[in-house]
Structure 1
Amino acid sequence: MTDVSTLTARPTRPTAPRWTGALSGALAATFGVVMGTAIAALINAPSPIVSIGNRFIFFTPQFLKEFAIRQFGTADKPILIASVSITLLLLAMVAGVIGLKRRNLALGITFGLGAVAILAAATDNASTANAVVTVIPTIITTIVAVGTLLFLLGILALSPKEGDDLPSGFDRRKFLIAVGGTTIGIALGGLIARVFGGAAAAESRMNVRIPTPADPASAVPAGVEVDVQGVSSYITPNRDFYRIDTALQIPDVPVEGYSLRIHGMVDKELNLSFQDLLEERLIERRITLTCVSNEVGGPYVGNATWIGIPVRDLLERAGVQGDADAVQTTSADGMTISTPLGALDDENRDAIIAIAMNGEPLPLRHGFPVRMVVPGLYGYVSATKWLVDIEVTRFADHKAYWSTRGYDEEAPIKFSSRIDVPESFQTFPVDAVRVGGVAWAQNVGIERIEVQVDGGEWVDAELAAQDSIDTWRQWSWQWDDATPGNHQLTVRATNADGETQTSDRVPIAPNGSTGLHSVQFRVE
């Protein structure tokens, strides 16, 4: 019998720690996504993350979209992108750890994630590129991710030393060199994506010169702004103007090669280049826009100066056929919006195909090079950005994006008022309680503003000068006999038709919220 005490202990080898597998998976996924994004920038296609996000938006229930807007506002898109990225990264790290012992399974998981991304790209109807071009970045992502993971796991795999039957164990130096090389690749890919992403439209916009409109807006009347610090400026700067849309990635639409098609139930189809639009009769108007997602007292309303072509001019040239009652417009990313025809050919309403905003070409995020602006209608039935197609049709024959999700087909903006000052729980000195805000009633105009403190009597506020019925109107009020303590301020508007805002609270769906805006504040 062998004496176990005489046995020589077999040497053990160091093993690769789990963190190396997790890091390998994370690097492989990151390198793949970055290279796919770089290729997307070069060929003007959506990045893999954007394609996945677009499909998520398409299948997301309406209540969840509304929740995201309420909770995150205009940050909903970055949060969605971050969520998709973090989920992918965590799955990739798990695959990397598994790969330390079961390399084929890890590669299979990575390939499976790539296949999901390819499927998302292949069905991404928000892409401005054709189907073949759209899937190329995700294919590149999958190849790079699988190849990189195979490479890194290969370095972590244990191999025998020369002349010895024992494996050598984890070679930290060799692994760190591989990590450094991969990181350099990620940085280069990111640089390419940053330099070329959205470059065509941005460069094109720099070269656009907006002609002087044949019908300029009248001068802004004196006294349109109240003397209350904190009230929204009468003209909303482009950088501050709200943006609510479904585009995760701003469409890259340069004016070179741009074409606006007008067709459908018309006598003559029109195809207009951007230069053609510049040569049309241009008008300039100040118009307040409101999003249907704007809750009572919400921020999704703004006032800007727009330059564009009256929609009715182009519809008259095309020759609208008698039984048409709607226009379906399509964005470069495939978004569809249906607008009542009567709102577009109404001589008393300046619906325009806009090419400029506040004296400059449309910002990329607000629809460059062309968008729709229709006074008095919520954006979801009128304000198509990155506009490329106008089809004259009938509501009975077409369903646009939002009308298939429970929203009304015709959605005039409900008039409303908002308190800008005080902000919630703001404190005033007892002798300086001066408040203010804005109110809007497009196509009608605001006639009266009243405020109420702590459920007491309604008292008239002071209205600023009115510009036009299509723009919002500022108001202010000073509480001369303010008392110390906590208070609640409520505001309501009366429009020029004599209608007073309802206190009934209704949600934003299916055609806009109603209710009175109130704010808690303190006097000391």
Structure 2
Amino acid sequence: MSTTPRRYHALAGAVAGLSGIAVSHVLTGVLNARATPVQSVAETIIVLTPGRVAEGFIQLVGQLDKPILITSVTLAIVGLGAVAGLISRRSGLGANLVFLAMGALALAAAMSRPGFTPSALIPLGAGVATWLVVLTLLADAVPPPDPPVDRAESGRSDASSRRGFLLRAGGFTLAAVALAAGGRFFGRDLRAVESARRLLRLPVSRGTEPTGAALGVRGTTPWRVPNGSFYRIDTAMVVPVIDPAQWRLRIHGMVDKELTLTYQDLLERDMTQAWVTLCCVSNPVGGDLIGNAFWSGVRVADLLAEAGVSPDADAVLQTSKDGWTCGTPIEALTDDRNSLLALAMNGEPLPVDHGFPVRMVVPGLYGYVSATKWVVDLEVTRYDRISAYWTERGWSAKGPVKTHSRIEVPDNGSEVSAGSVRIGGQAWAQHTGVAAVEYRLDGNAWEQAELGGVPNDDTWAQWAATVELEPGEHTLAVRATDSSGYTQTSARADVVPDGATGWHTIDVTAS
């Protein structure tokens, strides 16, 4: 049995694992394959994860969910590579079987994903081959276990062997890092679509914020959230890349006439523009998974009227290019609200990671039942005939946005100067409208807050107030009342199955 220190074998396997990842990453870009093997595995993990576990993860890490998952899969592969390296001390075949088993799992993951093509086998196969070859090359360079008898000669030999191994392992590691970093330059489809997006000149404006919308409390979220700061929660580990010239939308199902629309067809129709606040059902009380923007697009109601909706239909099953689905109440797409097939966001073509070329925007509904990015299919149907991604995982079929408010200034747990302190935040009740916001200091009587101006009932509203704080610990709470007369309940409820409830409360110290 080998007496070589285990760390050398573990390092050899870990470097082999990293090298295989890098090679598959570069070849995925060169071949314009849909996803790297690591991404395919991560996507499969998302699909197989129970809804409440997924929700708990989102609550814990927010919009870092995808980077953390990719990093975790990468570290798992490197870790299993280290295990293979340790096994190689006793059995080269056993080590190879570990890598082959990893390759088989990655293959199963890739084949289970929408859009799988045989070309995806090339990066995967090359990655597995790299694992095997690099492990063999590094194993050959591992310092020998049995040093010469001569002590001085032994020391020189050991040092030389260790140096040679570490140089070889370091060389493979640097090459892997360089390949991984350079792989982003090979995505021709993404570059082509980004170029097409930049060249688009859409007949839209960026919208003008209404007078009085912003109340000037330093530290509050801008009333209009810039595209680059807008929250993103979806299941797409790999953002679909769609050439607008190739995009098609099919409207079918319980309709008199099936429609197939192109991007140009939408551009030739009347463009509707509106301020709409979107909110994720995963948003906890006081959370930041919400944003307001100026959207431009074609009203879905007009397209459904043209198709002729059956009076028996009560839902539309939306499908994204990546296979994600949601069921939307038919009335939310056919009433007087500005439910849009959106082409632009804040006066610019949609960002790729926010649904370019076309996404759905439906005021008054949580995104899990309405806000399909990269939308390609609308099936007019009935709820008793369909199931959708999140409803299969425990969420309710219909998701009207609940009336909410949050305190943004001051921060929870912060220290402020005693005396007059400005406080403020946002309140929302999309498609119902915010009528009033109240705040409460230290459990005393509720007091009316100043409310910012809004252009319609589909956006959030800023609120602000001035409070007098004596030195010491204080508690602030906020609640909103919507235009129907409903006032937020104090009862705390989880985001599952249809959105959180409760007052947002913070603690501050005045000194």
1:462 and 2:487 equivalent?
no
> Are the aligned partners of 1:327 and 1:390 in contact in 2 as well (CA < 8 Å)?
yes
- For normalisation by structure 2, the TM-score amounts to 0.92
What is aligned with 2:424? 436
What is aligned with 2:128? 142
> Alignment partner of 1:396: what SS?
helix
What is aligned with 1:300? 289
> Are the aligned partners of 1:285 and 1:307 in contact in 2 as well (CA < 8 Å)?
yes
What is aligned with 1:450? 438
- How do 1:122-137 and structure 2 match up within 5 A? 122-125=111-114, 129-137=115-123
Q: Select which of 190, 196, 210 maps to 2:180.
A: 190
What is aligned with 1:372? 360
What is aligned with 2:40? 51
| Shift in alpha-carbon separation, 1:483–1:139, aligned structure 2, 3 A | same
* Superposed CA offset, 1:328-385 (max 9, x none): 1111111111111111011x20000111111111112211111100000000000001
**Displacement of 1:158 after TM fit?**
6.8
* Superposed CA offset, 1:387-407 (max 9, x none): 111111111111010111111
What is aligned with 2:387? 399
State the distance in 1 between where 2:379 and 2:192 align: 27
Q: Select which of 183, 199, 208 maps to 1:207.
A: 199
* Superposed CA offset, 1:241-286 (max 9, x none): 1111111222222324222222222222222222222222111111
> Are the aligned partners of 1:121 and 1:138 in contact in 2 as well (CA < 8 Å)?
no
What one-letter code is carried by the residue in structure 2 that aligns with 1:138? L
State the distance in 2 between where 1:30 and 1:256 align: 38
What one-letter code is carried by the residue in structure 1 that aligns with 2:506? V
* Superposed CA offset, 1:416-444 (max 9, x none): 11111111122222223110111011112
- For normalisation by structure 1, the TM-score amounts to 0.89
> Alignment partner of 1:20: what SS?
helix
Identify the range of structure 1 (404-413 vs 372-381) with the bigger mean alpha-carbon deviation: 404-413
| Shift in alpha-carbon separation, 1:27–1:448, aligned structure 2, 3 A | same
What is aligned with 1:504? 491
Q: Select which of 344, 347, 361 maps to 1:359.
A: 347
| Structure 1 stretches lacking a partner, 5+ long | 1-13, 161-167
> Are the aligned partners of 1:118 and 1:139 in contact in 2 as well (CA < 8 Å)?
no
State the distance in 2 between where 1:258 and 1:39 align: 26
State the distance in 2 between where 1:153 and 1:250 align: 38
CA RMSD of aligned residues (A): 2.3
State the distance in 1 between where 2:389 and 2:99 align: 34
> Are the aligned partners of 1:100 and 1:156 in contact in 2 as well (CA < 8 Å)?
no
Q: Select which of 260, 264, 284 maps to 1:271.
A: 260
- How do 1:71-86 and structure 2 match up within 5 A? 71-86=60-75
What is aligned with 2:27? 39
> Are the aligned partners of 2:450 and 2:463 in contact in 1 as well (CA < 8 Å)?
yes
**Displacement of 1:227 after TM fit?**
2.1
**Displacement of 1:449 after TM fit?**
1.1
State the distance in 1 between where 2:269 and 2:490 align: 45
What one-letter code is carried by the residue in structure 2 that aligns with 1:436? G
State the number of aligned residues: 496
| Shift in alpha-carbon separation, 1:177–1:316, aligned structure 2, 3 A | same
| Structure 2 stretches lacking a partner, 5+ long | 147-156
> Alignment partner of 1:81: what SS?
helix
What is aligned with 1:3? none
**Displacement of 1:181 after TM fit?**
5.2
State the distance in 2 between where 1:145 and 1:367 align: 36
Q: Select which of 490, 494, 507 maps to 2:481.
A: 494
1:152 and 2:132 equivalent?
no
